[in-house]
Structure 1
Amino acid sequence: MTISFRKIALMCRKMAFVGVLASTQIAGMVMQGEAQSTGSYWQEVQKRGVLKCGAAIASPYVMRDPQSGHYSGFFVELCRQFADVLQVKAEFVDTTWDNLVAGLQASKWDMAMALNRTPLRAMAAQFTVPAVQYQVSFVYNKANTKIPEHPVKIEDIDKPGITVAVMSGTAWDKALTATLKNATLMRLTGGDEARLSVMSRRADILADASDSNKLFKQANASWAVEFIPEPALAKQGISFALSRELSPADVAVVDIFLEGKVADGEVDRLVEEATAQSLENVGK
């Protein structure tokens, strides 16, 4: 049986059309399946019923009562309020500053609280918009003759024989590690240990976030002096850190929440409340 070239061409066209139609249908089924299987991260948290927040202690951002274990601080309250938005329970997981990002990567918590936005951390996690801004400041005993009168620059305290106490793993630890050339950096596991080292004169200077150092100075007004270096050291926003696995849409959910809290003055109110509480705790 002979078939004309015209018939052969028509058969090829029909087969090609059927192939395109089948490919289109398959692609549509795949896209539909992806749309059904890909949900918001926060919807998964809602199904779980618990929002886990990694908590490394630093007043007034994150505080914990050693007796009751109750968490407070303005980032803690923001975490609770975001949990209320999701209609779930907020759960706080105790950790250290050294492990805060690692725990986020290991899915031990959904959000890491009160982290400075730094390029190095951004390689391991993604950040929300800042809730507040901060920079490093220093507190020292005014009777300490090692410290020059009215220091202004980092170079004024970066001298042999001067010991600077800092919380290990914090943004200011990393900033000072890169900056100090002559002074000795004393890394301690917590903020209380760092403050006690200056009070007992094992260390000459305390390096901490300016908000925390302001409280420390006020609680020890008889001897404590604070200075904020010029130019500013590690002036950065403080945010929630989230897993890099979250989509831009998931990050936007928290951004919109925080932007609203900043705009309506709620963050300012929480900072003021946490600061007052922290001063009361220092006095106990």
Structure 2
Amino acid sequence: MTTRRDLAGLLGAGAVAATALTLASKEASAQAATTNTLERILSSKKLRMGAVAAGQPWTFKDRATGKWGGQFVDIGTALAADMDVQLEIVETTWGNAVLDIQSDKIDIMFGMNLTPKRALVVDYTSTVYDSALVVIARPGFEPKTWAELNDPKIKISVDVGSAHDHVAARLCPKAQIVRFKSLEEATLALRSGRVDAQSIFWMGGVRAVKRDPGLGKVVVPQPMFGSTSNAIVRRETDKTWRDFASAWITYSRGLGLIREAVVNSLAQVDLTMDDIPPGVTF
């Protein structure tokens, strides 16, 4: 027979056990919250990198084999190897990359030009390489300066929210900036004669004209505007992952690894050093 004293003891033990479980759960949650991205990558042996399937020469996915390639895949593979972890590629888009970083779907995304709006919500690594902004000008239109493009009669296509968009709007406030959802749509607008030029970084511009000479000509308006191509990571109180990635990038630039990856990726799309516009460096 269970007495009141026995019942009180059982209830007390239950309360103690429940309290212990609650404390253990809180402790586990706190421990998980304090685990930074670098610790998780090293413990899971997995580095999740975002990549765009149709982003060659930066990243691309072979539809037939499912294999990924491109300069940032080569760079990400080298980074993972130096960390002794496996590279896991997660498909994303340029437009969704920031959200995928914030929602913990990916750990790093290369090829993100620095913009103030992005810098408000994610952290940038050190510079992967320098990138000059150019325009693809329609046939018969060859502006030599940004001042020539800064004209109310001139229409410039951009992919909305991109660095192409931010820079064109800043340098050509008087021009008509025509915004599209994707880089491809912005290029199609130029091809169909709906705009006079497309704002784009040199790698994308040179490749587009190489594939379709009818688009026009790659022009480097003066003064030459130079931006940077960086990687983005999740914003955390502990900056260990950002700092490590930045240190690795700086080290790899010094070794020539970054430049080699870029040159190899250009060769894969039939571009050579001779195709690079005069004055453009990376």
Same fold (TM over 0.5): yes
Q: Is 1:84 matched with 2:78?
A: no
Q: Please report the RMSD computed on the Cα atoms of aligned residues, expressed in angstroms.
A: 2.8
Q: Is 1:55 matched with 2:51?
A: yes
Q: Is 1:46 matched with 2:42?
A: yes
Aligned pair in 2 of structure 1 residues 222, 185: CA closer, same or farther (>3 Å)? closer
Q: Any idea what the Cα deviations from partners look like across 1:129-164, whole Å, max 9, x if unmatched?
A: 111001210012333xxx3xx422223123344332
Q: Is 1:239 matched with 2:236?
A: no
User: Does the aligned pair in 2 maintain the 1:115–1:239 contact within 8 Å?
Assistant: yes
Q: Which residue of 2 aligns with 1:261?
A: 252
User: Does the residue aligned with 1:279 lie in a helix, a strand or coil?
Assistant: coil
Output aligned runs, 1:1-80, within 5 Å: 41-56=37-52, 58-80=55-77
**Counterparts of 1:202 and 1:279 in 2: how far apart (Å)?**
28
Structure-1-length-normalised TM-score: 0.74
**Counterparts of 2:144 and 2:94 in 1: how far apart (Å)?**
28
Q: Is 1:105 matched with 2:102?
A: yes
**Counterparts of 2:181 and 2:59 in 1: how far apart (Å)?**
15
Aligned pair in 2 of structure 1 residues 266, 124: CA closer, same or farther (>3 Å)? same
Q: Any idea what the Cα deviations from partners look like across 1:71-102, whole Å, max 9, x if unmatched?
A: 32212221122122233322222223232212
Aligned pair in 2 of structure 1 residues 164, 122: CA closer, same or farther (>3 Å)? same
**Counterparts of 2:215 and 2:59 in 1: how far apart (Å)?**
26
Q: Any idea what the Cα deviations from partners look like across 1:167-224, whole Å, max 9, x if unmatched?
A: 2231111222334334332323333333233223233212111122122233445763
Q: Is 1:122 matched with 2:113?
A: no
User: Does the aligned pair in 1 maintain the 2:115–2:166 contact within 8 Å?
Assistant: no
Q: Is 1:192 matched with 2:188?
A: no
Q: Which residue of 2 aligns with 1:168?
A: 160
User: Does the aligned pair in 2 maintain the 1:54–1:92 contact within 8 Å?
Assistant: yes
Shift of 1:267: 1.1
Q: Which residue of 1 aligns with 2:15?
A: none
Quote the sequence identity (%). Answer: 21
**Counterparts of 2:181 and 2:94 in 1: how far apart (Å)?**
9
* Larger Cα-atom Rg: 1
Instruction: List alignment gaps of at least 5 residues for structure 2.
Output: 1-29, 272-282
Output aligned runs, 1:121-140, within 5 Å: 121-140=118-137
Shifted more, 171-180 versus 214-223: the winner is: 214-223
Q: Which residue of 1 aligns with 2:4?
A: none
How many pairs were matched up? 241
Letter in 2 for 1:104: I
**Counterparts of 1:191 and 1:185 in 2: how far apart (Å)?**
14
